[in-house]
Every structure is written in structure tokens, then in C-alpha cells.
Amino acid sequence: MSYRPPDKLKTTVVGSYPYFSEALKAFQLRKKGQRGPEYESLVKEATRRAVEDYINVGLDIIADGEQRREDMAVFFAEELGGFEISDLVRIFDNVYFRKPVIADRITWIHEIVFGDWKYASGISRGRPVKVTLTGPYTMYSWSFDKFYGDPRKAILDLAEALRKEIEALVGAGAAYIQVDEPAFSTRAEKSDLEIAEEAFEIMFEGLDNVKRITHICYGKLERLFPAILDFPIDQIDLETKNSNYKVLDLLREYSFDKELALGVVDVHSSRIEAVDEVIEGILRGLEVVRPDKLYVKPDCGLKRLSREVALAKLENMVKAAKKVREELA
């Protein structure tokens, strides 16, 4: 089945979708080390339901909903070679979490997200399925390092490992590859961004027939400019609704000419943005980039919202994009 996305204002998502009960059951099995057929079929069913929701709400470019990933960093750490998982570390009050630990040289040992992408693509009724990968800089920032002692070496090895996954995906026809780097906006200094740029070069070198995307959210997005403009990427996917589109001024200042995926609904609030409110956001985006270069999507992954709220937000977002598209035509 084929699907032709509109030329202008394509709608999409950042990646994650609220977990279905099957996904929650799968997490429990995974924790017990039970990754057999039952686990796989639970993940599949959760993925199928996420894909159905994304299609039914009318998105142009969908994702697999990340139903296999309870935590975006821990998941990749569990699938890559070289990582362990730490003992408990406090995050606030008396609440603790486990953090990935780099304990050996990082290597790619098997496919990580390929299977879920492939499955989602098979049931997407022709819609492109965007692949989301937790980026090397974020993986490093959110891990303990007891092996390298040198961020650059570790980050570049992470990039090499992810490159293998990307090659497999592109080889199988993946057209949108998104590298999530939320840690960029919390700590990254200039030297960090230089390392990250090298990492992106490793991941995407020679891959021209694919949309190369990075998603960055929250914190201080302004820190990334202008350095991020030199990254070998086609599209920057940003959280903008929550920060009142502040970063758009910077994009204008730097004559931004990449594609922009604009966050037009807030994923930290369960208030449903009205269609007009979303339209207003899209129009602000259009002041900076052309409609064929503007993608419309939520600020970040949807996993913390309820399914009802997520769907309602997406529905208004799709309506808003359609309306603006009609006005443009």
C-alpha cells in the first residue's frame, strides 16, 4: 500500500507513545530476563496498537511508539556491548534509579531497534516510519564511565556502534533516521558539541538518501546555536511550544535553512491545545522556514501522557496542519 504525504507541513511525532498494557507486561518479563516468544508477542501487540493510533489520527510520518523501551538510555545500554547497569543512584528524595555504566569498549553486537521498525513498517499502510535512536552524546552523559575516562573516545565509539544499526536500517529502506540528543541542552559546552558533531559525521557519513534528523528538547536550546547548524543533518526537531517558540528568534537570526520539526503541543501538560492555538504555533514556524521544510509535531515523546490526551492533542495538531495547508493552497 502506498501513501503520499503532503508536500507541505507534514505531521509527525518525536517517537514514544503512551505504553499499552502489553508493553508494561513486557517490561516485567524483561526485568526477569524472560525475552522469549511471549515477550516478543507482547511488544509486537503494543507496537501494533501504537502504529494503529498514529495512523488513525492521521499522521503523515509515524514511529513505532517505542513500546519496547522503558528508558531511552538504559534500553540502548542493555542492547549494546560494553555496558552494565549500575546499582541504585538517588534522583530525588528517597527515589532511586539505575544508570548505564560503560564498563568495557562499546560495540554493536546485534540489531537494536531494527526489528520494531521493520514490523511497524510492515503494518504502516505505506506511511514512512521514522526510526529513533538515543544519541551518542546523550548515552554518554546519562551513563557512568569507568572504562574510557575520555568522553570523546567513548562518544565516537558509541557513534560507530549506532552507525552499524543505521546502516542496517537504511539498507532495508528506512527513510527517516532521528538521533535523540536531549542532553545537548542541559550541559553541552562548545567542546562537547565539537565531539558530538564528529559523532554525527560518523553516524551519517555517505548516507545521502535518508533524512538525517536530530531531536533536542528542554533546557537551554540557545546554547546549541550556531554550532548545531554545521552538523551533517537535514532536520532539527525541537521542543518549542513549552518554551513559547523562543528559539525561533535565534533560527531567524542565523538564517536557518535546514528543515525544522516544530513542537506545537506541550507533552508536559494534559491540557488539550485548541486547533487555533496549534495554528498560531505553525504560523510562527512559517515565519522562519518554508512550508515544505516545516514539520509539525509534539514537543517531545508522548509516553508520559495518557493515551486519550495524547490522541486528542494529535488530533487537533493534524486538523491545524490541514487547515494551514488549505489556506496556503
Least distance in angstroms from the C-beta of 200 to another protein: 22
Q: Which residues pair with 259 in a beta bridge?
A: 235
Least distance in angstroms from the C-beta of 19 to another protein: 22
Question: DSSP labels for 254-271?
Answer: TT--SEEEEEEE-TT--P
Q: Which stretch binds Zn ion (CB under 5 A): 178-186, 193-201, 241-249, 253-261?
A: 178-186
Pairing of strands 10-11, 294-298: parallel
Q: In this structure, are residues 177 and 237 in contact, taking their beta carbons and an 8 Å threshold?
A: no
Give the one residue of 217, 236, 261, 286 binding Zn ion; rule: CB under 5 A.
217
Q: 181 burial class (0-12, 13-18, 19+ CB within 10 angstroms)?
A: buried
CA distance 49 to 41: 12
| Inter-CA distances, 73 with 70, 161, 302, Å | 9, 14, 17
CA distance 220 to 312: 28
Least distance in angstroms from the C-beta of 258 to Zn ion: 18
Least distance in angstroms from the C-beta of 93 to another protein: 5
Q: Which stretch binds another protein (CB under 8 A): 29-37, 92-100, 263-271, 293-301?
A: 92-100
Least distance in angstroms from the C-beta of 301 to Zn ion: 6
Spell out the long-range contacts of 324-327 with Cβ–Cβ below 8 A and sequence spacing 24 or more. Answer: 324/9, 324/279, 324/282, 324/283, 324/286, 324/291, 325/6, 325/8, 325/9, 325/291
What character string, x for contact with another protein (CB under 8 A) and - otherwise, covers 162-191? ------------------------xx----
What character string, x for contact with another protein (CB under 8 A) and - otherwise, covers 34-73? ----------------------------------------
Nearer to another protein, 144 or 225 (CB): 144
Least distance in angstroms from the C-beta of 125 to Zn ion: 27
Least distance in angstroms from the C-beta of 143 to another protein: 10
Residues numbered 211 to 270 that lie near another protein (CB under 8 A) are none
- In degrees, rounded to 5, the angle at the alpha carbon of residue 19 between the alpha carbons of residues 259 and 31 is 115
C-alpha cell at 102: 560503560
Nearer to another protein, 53 or 157 (CB): 157
Q: 226 burial class (0-12, 13-18, 19+ CB within 10 angstroms)?
A: exposed
Is residue 326 at the binding interface for another protein, with CB under 8 A as the rule?
no
Is residue 101 at the binding interface for another protein, with CB under 8 A as the rule?
yes
Give the one residue of 59, 162, 300, 317 binding Zn ion; rule: CB under 5 A.
300
**DSSP label at 301?**
-
Nearer to another protein, 110 or 187 (CB): 187
Nearer to another protein, 99 or 130 (CB): 99
Is residue 93 at the binding interface for another protein, with CB under 8 A as the rule?
yes
Total site size for another protein, rule CB under 8 A: 19
At a CB cut-off of 8 Å and minimum separation 6, what does 270 contact?
305, 306, 309
Least distance in angstroms from the C-beta of 176 to another protein: 29
SS3 content of the chain, % helix, strand, coil (to 5): 45, 20, 35
What residues line the site for another protein (CB under 8 A)? 86-94, 96, 99, 101, 142, 144-146, 149, 186-187
